[in-house]
Chain A
Amino acid sequence: MVIGNTTLTLTEEQGMLMDVAHEFCRDKSPVSVVRAQLDTELGFDTNIWKEMIALGWTGIALPEHCGGSGLGVSALVPVFEAMGRALLGTPLLTTSLAAQLIMRASGAAQESRLTDIASGTVATLALNEDSDWGREHFAVSLDSRGTLSGTKRFVPDATVAKLFVVPVQRDGELAIALVDASQLPDGAIRPNTLIDETKRAANVDFTGVSVEEERVISGAQVADALHDTRLIGALLVAAEATGSAGACLDTIVEYLKTRKQFGKLIGSYQALKHPTVDILIDTDSSRSFIYHAASVVGNDSLDVDCEIACRMAKAQATDTLLQAGDRAIQFHGGMGFTYECDAQLYLRRAQWSQQQFGDAQHHRKRLAKLLLG
């Protein structure tokens, strides 16, 4: 069956996290707080981050013996949806992905890193070297003496990260180097200026950094672990984008219900009303896809159903947000053209989200192979 797996459930834990996360994000991250962070170095309020750690969010998907709650990636989906809704940044996304890669690639060998992450150490996944999300072979390399060379680009939250999880090539094989921030020479981190001012990323030059052998993860399982981590990255970004699209829709609807032109509320004009319903319908689709993916993805290696689910979630959700953000600007008219109007926050977030872990076409191209052969 080409439609395949259509499981969709909500566990009690997911439901509780959803409620807690929505309430937390609504209370702690109103748009005034988001705006106050747009031009700061870190891009987030460290007090909020500490509260998130105290709530256990950095350990949701990590095993209990590492200080996590053992709920798996599925339980992160409602959390990121809530964070996306509130445009709440923080390093939770990249920290979670760094942890997933370590956990999936190293088994028990690196458990102390996971324990650190669960208790609040900021980690980041240093993946990209160029614009290509389809890159399988890395130029950043680890030589036989254990020295790194090369630069990773678009490394999320690099200035605040304590641990860098760096996929590299060593002797033509894929490996992962674990690098402490303290090992980086001055000037190694060059922050990017991002279109989404709620996010932070940087180029990180790892050239000359020595990595002890016990801090290298290698073996045949690394490629699978990286493949799965990319898919989980796509899913979590999709969850975040779905939340943002919902909030963007609310922003549009609020304006359409209050703004008058030619003596009528502009929401009564079908030229605005109908595309807004299209956004609702696409947002509904996005939610269905992310919770379907959350229902099938577990701690095990991701099977083809999971891969399809994650890719569909990403393909749907970030295109939905692109359209929602785009129309939000247009429907706000002159107001929409100003920095003051919140619509720009969603439009900018949409540009960032679509690029993370591959855009819709990147995923549809791979879905075509999975679904049509």
Chain B
Amino acid sequence: MSVSELELNEFRAEVSAWMHDNNPADPGFLLPQTFMEVGDERQLEFLREWQHKIWAAGYLGMAWPKEYGGRGVDPAFQTIADHEMRRHAVPISFNIIGLGWAGPLINDIGTAQEKEKYLKRILTAEDVWCQGFSEPENGSDLGNAQTRAVRDGDEYVINGQKIWTTMGNFAQYMILLARTNPDTPRKYDGLSFFLSPMDIPGVETRPIRKLTGEYGFTETFFTDARIPANCLMGEEGQGWKIAMQTLQYERGAEAGAAGGQMMVRVTVEDMINELQGVIRDEAAVLDDPLLRDQLVKAIMEEKSLVLGVRRAAIPGLSSDYPGSLALSGKLRMSESTRRMRQLAIKLQGAEGALYVGDEEARQRGFWQRAYLNSFSATIGGGTSQVQTNIVAEHVLGLPK
């Protein structure tokens, strides 16, 4: 399928105009900045309605088959729609585990019945999906997951505990990684992958209150929870392979994801714009020489991240320590984001002490909350300290 440049440009203009016209007004409460921050029913219902609206307008799941709620067009269209959502900083498409993980997987290897049952309802946000990979004792070591799934007739019986389940308390379904065989020589080979219902006896979710005071994750307990045997994806023992397959859809619509955006991007520029009007020493804060120096450093950090992505794509310019930019990417990005948000609070002066809920807080306390939430990226997916060890050992070749 080839699409003309003209067609794409026309579409870009169309979707840009739509996002501009339909970007919701401030709802009067602070919206989640990422899909990991959906903390209450009010936010959930707002985002459910918003995602449904994008889908109904035809800008979500564009490359998915028509019979399952998509439009069956070239993924290039969805890539453009995603780009315009980001550019217009519209609210997130919160059902991201469905749109970007479970959905594309079902589309790729699911049965006709599974596609029929799940795909459209992912797009419309009628079904919310969550992911059950991490466990309390196996945060960074997914391959060692110990939650058990034991075949019993036409069912599997699930026992164990998952943690950091995004929207676990709102979800209808979970992509679940569980151990069907505890005796395999390689721990990975004992894992299986399930599309597991959440609204059944024996599944209990307990919301985790984050340092922000809000919710967004749960602990999920399985106590003799019985799920139909046909919830198994692929064969028993293929769980690790399938779980890894879900990760590749992160690359976006071209890789099979339905599209949408999982976070509202925040840049140094947003921070600088927000600081217009802040006073320090009876003059504009942006005139303070020391703070200007810190802002320039922050701008350079952000620019360096963008340049790093460009350079990593040029083999001749990334050969001195191969893999360095790729392996340090998460570390650099998450730490830079954390520092930038910390600075954003500091620059507010006395108002930096206000928090979400105070009507005089700048942008409803957006930066304060964003700073506290930024630790989810410096801790989740391997802490910065673990990441630093990885870079030291795999890039520099330093001993363990």
Contact surface of A with B, Cβ cutoff 8 Å: 1-4, 6-10, 15, 18, 246, 253, 256-257, 264-265, 267-268, 270, 273-274, 276-277, 280-281, 284-285, 287-289, 291-292, 312, 315-316, 361, 364-365, 367-368, 371-373
Residues of A within 8 A of B296 (CB): 315, 364, 367-368, 371-372
Evaluate contact between B269 and A2: CB separation under 8 angstroms: yes
Evaluate contact between B299 and A284: CB separation under 8 angstroms: no
Evaluate contact between B299 and A277: CB separation under 8 angstroms: no
Report the 5 A-B pairs with minimum CB-CB distance, sorted nearest first.
A288-B307, A8-B310, A267-B398, A368-B292, A285-B304
Q: Which of B170-178, B208-216, B317-325 contacts A (4 or more CB under 8 A)?
A: B317-325
Evaluate contact between A257 and B272: CB separation under 8 angstroms: no
17 contacts between A and B (CB under 8 A): A3-B306, A4-B303, A8-B311, A15-B316, A18-B316, A267-B392, A268-B399, A274-B392, A277-B391, A280-B395, A284-B325, A287-B317, A316-B300, A368-B295, A371-B295, A372-B292, A372-B295
Evaluate contact between A8 and B316: CB separation under 8 angstroms: no
CA distance in complex: A63, B346 (Å): 51
Task: Pick the most buried of A9, A267, A361, A372: most chain B CB atoms within 10 A of its CB.
Answer: A372
Evaluate contact between A371 and B310: CB separation under 8 angstroms: no
CA distance in complex: A241, B341 (Å): 31
CA distance in complex: A267, B272 (Å): 40
Evaluate contact between A288 and B311: CB separation under 8 angstroms: yes
Flag whether B267 is at the interface (Cβ < 8 A). yes
Which of A2, A256, A265 is the one whose CB lies under 8 Å from B272? A2
CA distance in complex: A112, B398 (Å): 53
CA distance in complex: A304, B291 (Å): 22
Residues of B within 8 A of A8 (CB): 307, 310-311, 314, 317
Residues of A within 8 A of B325 (CB): 284
Evaluate contact between B398 and A365: CB separation under 8 angstroms: no
CA distance in complex: A280, B302 (Å): 17
Q: B395's closest neighbor in chain A, by CB?
A: A280
Evaluate contact between A289 and B307: CB separation under 8 angstroms: yes
Residues of B within 8 A of A285 (CB): 300, 304, 307-308
Evaluate contact between B307 and A292: CB separation under 8 angstroms: yes
Evaluate contact between A372 and B398: CB separation under 8 angstroms: no
Q: What are the interface flags for B77-100 relative to A under an 8 Å C-beta threshold, 1 for contact and 0 otherwise?
A: 000000000000000000000000
Residues of A within 8 A of B399 (CB): 257, 264-265, 267-268
Which of A10, A268, A288 is the one whose CB lies under 8 Å from B304? A288
Residues of A within 8 A of B306 (CB): 3, 6
Evaluate contact between A280 and B328: CB separation under 8 angstroms: yes
Task: Pick the most buried of B310, B331, B332: most chain A CB atoms within 10 A of its CB.
Answer: B310
Residues of B within 8 A of A270 (CB): 385, 388-389
Which of B267, B295, B311, B388 is the one whose CB lies under 8 Å from A3? B267
CA distance in complex: A246, B306 (Å): 21
Evaluate contact between B321 and A280: CB separation under 8 angstroms: yes
Flag whether B400 is at the interface (Cβ < 8 A). yes
Residues of B within 8 A of A1 (CB): 269
Q: What are the interface flags for B190-221 relative to A under an 8 Å C-beta threshold, 1 for contact and 0 otherwise?
A: 00000000000000000000000000000000
Evaluate contact between A6 and B388: CB separation under 8 angstroms: no
CA distance in complex: A372, B307 (Å): 20
Return B239 CB to nearest CB of chain A, in Å.
33
Extra inter-chain contacts (10) besides given A273-B389, A280-B324, A372-B286, CB under 8 Å: A2-B268, A2-B299, A3-B302, A8-B310, A8-B317, A273-B388, A277-B328, A285-B307, A292-B307, A367-B299
Evaluate contact between B308 and A364: CB separation under 8 angstroms: no
Evaluate contact between A368 and B303: CB separation under 8 angstroms: no
CA distance in complex: A362, B303 (Å): 19
Evaluate contact between B398 and A10: CB separation under 8 angstroms: no
CA distance in complex: A15, B319 (Å): 12
Evaluate contact between B398 and A256: CB separation under 8 angstroms: yes
CA distance in complex: A188, B320 (Å): 44
Evaluate contact between A257 and B303: CB separation under 8 angstroms: no
CA distance in complex: A264, B303 (Å): 39
Evaluate contact between B304 and A277: CB separation under 8 angstroms: no
Q: B292's closest neighbor in chain A, by CB?
A: A368
Which of A6, A264, A277 is the one whose CB lies under 8 Å from B307? A6
Evaluate contact between A284 and B324: CB separation under 8 angstroms: yes
Flag whether B297 is at the interface (Cβ < 8 A). yes
Flag whether B397 is at the interface (Cβ < 8 A). yes
Flag whether B45 is at the interface (Cβ < 8 A). no
CA distance in complex: A4, B296 (Å): 13
- A312 and B300 in contact (CB under 8 A), knowing A8-B314, A285-B308? yes
Evaluate contact between A274 and B316: CB separation under 8 angstroms: no
Return A1 CB to nearest CB of chain B, in Å.
6
- A372 and B272 in contact (CB under 8 A), knowing A280-B321, A367-B296? yes
Evaluate contact between A273 and B392: CB separation under 8 angstroms: yes
Evaluate contact between B293 and A6: CB separation under 8 angstroms: no
Residues of A within 8 A of B268 (CB): 2-3
Residues of A within 8 A of B286 (CB): 372-373
Residues of A within 8 A of B311 (CB): 8, 287-288, 291
- A277 and B272 in contact (CB under 8 A), knowing A3-B302, A315-B300, A316-B304? no
Evaluate contact between A281 and B392: CB separation under 8 angstroms: no
Residues of A within 8 A of B332 (CB): 281
Residues of A within 8 A of B320 (CB): 246, 287
Evaluate contact between B316 and A10: CB separation under 8 angstroms: yes
CA distance in complex: A212, B400 (Å): 68
CA distance in complex: A7, B289 (Å): 29
CA distance in complex: A373, B396 (Å): 40
Residues of B within 8 A of A3 (CB): 267-269, 299, 302-303, 306
Task: Pick the most buried of B317, B325, B328, B399: most chain A CB atoms within 10 A of its CB.
Answer: B317
Q: What are the interface flags for B370-400 relative to A under an 8 Å C-beta threshold, 1 for contact and 0 otherwise?
A: 0000000000000001001101100111111
Return B325 CB to nearest CB of chain A, in Å.
6
Q: B302's closest neighbor in chain A, by CB?
A: A3
Return A75 CB to nearest CB of chain B, in Å.
13
- A291 and B317 in contact (CB under 8 A), knowing A265-B399, A280-B328, A368-B292? yes
Task: Pick the most buried of A2, A274, A285, A292: most chain B CB atoms within 10 A of its CB.
Answer: A2
Q: A292's closest neighbor in chain B, by CB?
A: B307
Task: Pick the most buried of B295, B302, B311, B332: most chain A CB atoms within 10 A of its CB.
Answer: B311
Evaluate contact between B398 and A361: CB separation under 8 angstroms: no
Return A82 CB to nearest CB of chain B, in Å.
11
